[in-house]
Structure 1
Amino acid sequence: ARQSPTRAPCSSALILQHDFGYTYGKPPVEAQYTPPQDCPSADWSTIVLEWSATSKGRQFDRIFGVWLGGVEILRSCTAEPRPNGIFWKVQKDITRFSSLLKQNQTLSVHLANIVDKTYTGVYHVNVTIHFYAEEGVGKRLGLGSVLDSPADLILPISRSPPLNDGYWFLVQNSTDVQQKQFSIPRNVYRAVLEVFVSYHSNDEFWYTNPPDEYIQENNLSNVPGNGAFREVVVSLDQRVVGAVWPFTVIYTGGVNPLLWRPITGIGSFDLPSYEIEITPFLGEILDKENHTVEFSVTNALNVWYIDANLHLWIDGGLKKTKCKLLSYDAPPARHSILSNFKGLDGIFNTSASRYIAATGRVKTSHGKINVHTIQRFGYRNWMKFSNTGSAQTVRQRIKTDSGVYFTLPSDDLYSIQLIRNYPLYLYTNLQNQVNESYTDVTSVSLGFNENSFRGEESGFSSSSLRNTQDATGYMAVQGNLVKSGLGRTKEVYRYESNQGCYFRN
């Protein structure tokens, strides 16, 4: 992980300032970006995007995105305001987008907000970019170091304007396939697809959705179904090249809004993106023709917001690289549900697994590079309904293991392995239900755990992240409004690496 700079930036530019009032169904707000002129060079060591905002009154949590030239650089959720006002700030390292930031671009923000007599909160937003100069450290020239540097070109795999929404695609059901055509230069030698994912409406809490048979046999009309398993499938010209089994982000209004003040749910202010290495497939797309990236979501209900950025590394010593796919294996995901219920009470066990692997060879001006990629996924969800369906318990764990292994012309190995583990526990109990009033008692445990391993010419490095939250609370609800309640949340964050450690609770 990159440490936050302790020195002053060589340039800080306020790119956008806007008040997001009634913006629902309207185009993204735009501002023009130009590269800074007051840094000694455009070889920045670190670039930080800063989102700062204030709001006052009552308002829902709102999902929003920030794009630069159609390339998404931040997916986030607003904080829910209070009558006396709030302020929050999000900072994100966007150094990997440095090739974009060296050119004039259009910065776009879409935050769909509604203001009326009940929901009065307007979001007053500043978007600033901070640039930090290199500190005289010479660049490493090995090919492994080049592979680890920011991409030379980044293409948006997103919708094109004009739009009355964000640049993201909307996947609205399990058969919906969204796609984008693209073409790439013929001298690309590495390609990585960075996928952004968020889920809303009937699938905001997809991990709590019971199977359809439970809904049908109990004649339920207002309960989202399709079971509790979801995966985002990414295809290239109708061939599956990767998948995303997403972390369970709980937004600032999710489950019980009182749990997320002032601590917000893991990932809600900076939703994680997910990388898919598609270098083995370069031989299929280095022909100057249009090719298609497709997104679908297994078992999806309305609605999922998905787009991607295609990061490309270009060989300046060749007009055309040559690539060949040597092996490919992507069997369908295995998915099973065991149901045992009577009336509104019962237990459901859901499990799933998937494996995707590919090997390719790229001929570059540096010599031949062999690359092997692999993705492994595991999923378990245990769900119980009790108290005539008014109480629900969910225990879930998602495991992902992705690896990329380059054999370089020098016979050195450049490798990246990322192992993630997402545990979730959720208990909700609806009590005192009368008409549109009820009391919701809640307990939540979230975890985002990650082990990272890197091998390159300069040596081996590793890091470990353990980020956990435990929350309990209750709220009295009338209609859609929280009338009273209480929330308690504890977070423990521990990061360790070869460079040092960070701990906070």
Structure 2
Amino acid sequence: MAPSAAISSILLLLALLHPAAATARHRHRLGASLLAASLNASEPPTTFFEVDRPIRPPRGSAGPCSTLLLSGTFGATYGRPPATAAYAPPACLAAARAASAGGGGLALAVLEWTAVCRGRQFDRIFGVWLSGAELLRSCTAEPRPNGILWSVSRDVTRYAALLAEPGEVAVYLGNLVDKTYTGVYHANLTLHLYFHAAPPPQPQQQQMADLIVPISRNLPLNDGQWFAIQNATDVQSKKLAIPSNTYRAVLEVFVSFHSNDEFWYTNPPNDYIQANNLSNVPGNGAFREVVARVDGEVVGAVWPFTVIYTGGVNPLLWRPITGIGSFNLPTYDIDITPFLGKLLDGKEHDFGFGVTNALDVWYIDANLHLWLDHNSEKTTGSLLSYDAAGLDLNVNSEFNGLDGQFVTSASRHVSATGWVKSSYGEVTTTFYQRFRYENSNVFRKNGTVQIVNQTIDAKSGIFAKDATTVLLSEELHKIFPLYLYTGTTDKVGDEYSLDSLVKLGINEKKTSGGKMGFLYSSLQNAQSARGIMRVKKNLVVSGLGKTHQVYKYVGTDGCYFRDVSSRNYTVLFDRSGDSCSKGAYSRASTKLNNQSARRKLLVNKL
């Protein structure tokens, strides 16, 4: 995804590359299909969608109470200020908060983006902010002459404190329009609220922070409010002071990668580039991580899921089923509660982000979720233990000319334990992260074939207890598998054929316990896409794309299943359901019991 006017320069660079390397880079960033020009513009628009679990209001809740936050048109918007609108809490929310002492209260908040577009256009990244805090990071769909439409819904209940205060909504979608790329995006942004009919349990109320502090750039800007990380030494940060009565703090990090690092997991090392005189080919190897720091100390990391945007690899693959995470990019939580002892001094502290081995450009910002002790003006704390050993990164390279193999492995461990004393007592919290990474990057047939096989394995946990009780015990395990094959053939001048196969997925298991009771969830989300296309002058002139996706979710809060397949804008079949089999519940129960036993052992070590 080209985030800016850099699109034009990227296309120019492609023409200057080594012939074999040029085709390798062509397969990643292409213009919209010329096939669309032959379509009947009177046909109904195509609905694009990302497969995800539907957001459903809690049983017995009332709503929705819906409010249009912003309606905007995004044409020649690159390098211009974001679209903005004043925000006032909806009257239904204010009424519910006033009555919450006797019943009611916010049960669910959903932010919905709906958009239409007609013509031809690249995919574009966009963000939505409220009072500087990002609520949604997303990618547009690539349009066609008969038009497209799509919607994105995100659960924003965790931002309840932000939604209750007046502010400003900002949307940045940097778009370029010319004689070839004519697509203009028309979008509405709507907030849907649901309310409890009776007071929710107190533990549920405590799940949402009392204050959300944005770690982003301030308006006015001619860009998004994200920070732009341009290279491996670039660290972007913001200074802020946190309230002195804070007793818990969580960083929620937004991440997206673009331009030379849009396909960072395919990049060869610099020695390969130098040996083959490929000065314009992105390098620095196939590993990236986002590192979060407070006052220069590492407090956590993000090893991001490999989101492929709607124009990536082969644009025909993502029509109408888009890549996992492309419409609703994932966020990543880092619990910094153990470090509060160093932050409760009333002074400003530096919250910063960098990207290991980064090339231009990464967009990063964060929201700092804070829980406040309303019964006291001052909490105290101390860091008891801290371990953030450096990144362990190894690269083995073997190549001869443009052919070769590069095997990259990496690991990192971060852990911290600290206590905070408030009116709720003295609570000791441990947060840890463990990461493992493997990437095999193979070039064959004089660099015209590339095969990437990668796995990211990330574990994290939070354990909080007072003198007698386990208050929170949560473990999250994510595995991100990726397989990518691309092969270029029949190259004549500026025209060639490209065969591609993409397999990517998210396997996630989560358990939590403590005062909230025990919860369990398991997600298996697998996508397989294959296509061939004929490319001329960076535009697709013919081709075929097929995508199949299976989404399986099992949890104590319910189940969801979807099996869907498409071929060149047409959905071949779409099966879904939300019933849980007895076997699924049994497996969930067994896993929950096993996790519970292991959790008790870990908690006893605190």
Q: Which structure 2 residues correspond to residues 242-281 of structure 1 after superposition, within 5 A? A: 242-281=300-339
1:105 corresponds in structure 2 to 167
1:41 corresponds in structure 2 to 96
Deviation at 1:33, TM superposition (A): 1.4
What is the rounded CA distance, in whole Å, between the counterparts of 2:516 and 2:69 in structure 1?
A: 38
- Is structure 2 residue 205 aligned with structure 1 residue 140? no
1:74 corresponds in structure 2 to 136
Deviations 1:117-165 (A, max 9, x none): 00000000000000111122x33235xx554x11000000001122111
| One-letter amino acid matched to 1:246 | P
The answer (yes or no) to whether the contact 1:366–1:409 under 8 Å persists in 2 is no
- Is structure 2 residue 404 aligned with structure 1 residue 346? yes
Q: Aligned pair in 2 of structure 1 residues 10, 423: CA closer, same or farther (>3 Å)?
A: closer
- Is structure 2 residue 143 aligned with structure 1 residue 89? no
Alignment size in residue pairs: 501
The answer (yes or no) to whether the contact 1:440–1:474 under 8 Å persists in 2 is yes
The answer (yes or no) to whether the contact 1:232–1:298 under 8 Å persists in 2 is yes
SS at the partner of 2:149?
strand
- Aligned match of 1:64 in 116, 121, 126? 126
The answer (yes or no) to whether the contact 1:373–1:403 under 8 Å persists in 2 is yes
Deviation at 1:267, TM superposition (A): 0.2
The answer (yes or no) to whether the contact 1:30–1:109 under 8 Å persists in 2 is yes
The answer (yes or no) to whether the contact 1:182–1:291 under 8 Å persists in 2 is yes
What is the rounded CA distance, in whole Å, between the counterparts of 2:55 and 2:274 in structure 1?
A: 52
What is the rounded CA distance, in whole Å, between the counterparts of 1:19 and 1:157 in structure 2?
A: 27
2:71 corresponds in structure 1 to 17
Q: Which structure 2 residues correspond to residues 64-213 of structure 1 after superposition, within 5 A? A: 64-136=126-198, 138-141=199-202, 145=204, 147=206, 149-213=207-271
What is the rounded CA distance, in whole Å, between the counterparts of 2:245 and 2:354 in structure 1?
A: 30
- Is structure 2 residue 353 aligned with structure 1 residue 295? yes
What is the rounded CA distance, in whole Å, between the counterparts of 2:516 and 2:129 in structure 1?
A: 34
Structure with the largest fraction of helix: 2
Deviations 1:167-194 (A, max 9, x none): 0000001111111111111000000000
Deviation at 1:10, TM superposition (A): 4.1
What is the rounded CA distance, in whole Å, between the counterparts of 2:189 and 2:398 in structure 1?
A: 51
The answer (yes or no) to whether the contact 1:235–1:294 under 8 Å persists in 2 is yes
SS at the partner of 1:189?
strand
| One-letter amino acid matched to 1:134 | H
| One-letter amino acid matched to 1:53 | A
What is the rounded CA distance, in whole Å, between the counterparts of 2:64 and 2:449 in structure 1?
A: 55
Q: Aligned pair in 2 of structure 1 residues 238, 107: CA closer, same or farther (>3 Å)?
A: same
What is the rounded CA distance, in whole Å, between the counterparts of 2:197 and 2:303 in structure 1?
A: 39
1:4 corresponds in structure 2 to 56
Deviations 1:367-421 (A, max 9, x none): 1100001000000001110011000000000000010100134422411111000
Q: Aligned pair in 2 of structure 1 residues 131, 191: CA closer, same or farther (>3 Å)?
A: same
| One-letter amino acid matched to 1:289 | K
Stretches of 4+ aligned residues off by more than 3 angstroms: none
Q: Aligned pair in 2 of structure 1 residues 305, 323: CA closer, same or farther (>3 Å)?
A: same
| One-letter amino acid matched to 2:147 | G
| One-letter amino acid matched to 2:75 | G
CA RMSD of aligned residues (A): 1.3
SS at the partner of 1:357?
strand
- Is structure 2 residue 385 aligned with structure 1 residue 321? no
Deviation at 1:458, TM superposition (A): 4.3
Structure with the largest fraction of strand: 1
Q: Aligned pair in 2 of structure 1 residues 58, 227: CA closer, same or farther (>3 Å)?
A: same
SS at the partner of 1:281?
helix
- Aligned match of 1:482 in 504, 522, 540? 540
- Aligned match of 2:445 in 348, 373, 387? 387
State TM-score, norm by structure 2: 0.81
The answer (yes or no) to whether the contact 2:62–2:197 under 8 Å persists in 1 is no
SS at the partner of 1:282?
helix
What is the rounded CA distance, in whole Å, between the counterparts of 1:161 and 1:17 in structure 2?
A: 19
The answer (yes or no) to whether the contact 2:55–2:155 under 8 Å persists in 1 is no
What is the rounded CA distance, in whole Å, between the counterparts of 2:297 and 2:62 in structure 1?
A: 47
Could you list the runs of 5+ residues in structure 1 that have no partner in the other structure?
Answer: none
The answer (yes or no) to whether the contact 2:75–2:185 under 8 Å persists in 1 is yes
- Aligned match of 1:225 in 266, 279, 283? 283
1:422 corresponds in structure 2 to 480
SS at the partner of 2:504?
strand
| One-letter amino acid matched to 1:71 | A
| One-letter amino acid matched to 1:367 | G
- Aligned match of 1:453 in 479, 503, 511? 511
- Is structure 2 residue 295 aligned with structure 1 residue 237? yes
The answer (yes or no) to whether the contact 1:191–1:313 under 8 Å persists in 2 is yes
Amino-acid identity (%): 57
- Aligned match of 2:81 in 27, 49, 52? 27
The answer (yes or no) to whether the contact 1:226–1:299 under 8 Å persists in 2 is yes
What is the rounded CA distance, in whole Å, between the counterparts of 2:55 and 2:174 in structure 1?
A: 33
Could you list the runs of 5+ residues in structure 2 that have no partner in the other structure?
Answer: 1-52, 98-104, 564-606
SS at the partner of 2:311?
coil
Q: Aligned pair in 2 of structure 1 residues 84, 10: CA closer, same or farther (>3 Å)?
A: closer
Farther off after superposition, 59-68 or 286-295? 286-295
The answer (yes or no) to whether the contact 2:62–2:195 under 8 Å persists in 1 is no
The answer (yes or no) to whether the contact 1:21–1:121 under 8 Å persists in 2 is yes
State TM-score, norm by structure 1: 0.97
| One-letter amino acid matched to 2:216 | S
Deviation at 1:3, TM superposition (A): 4.8
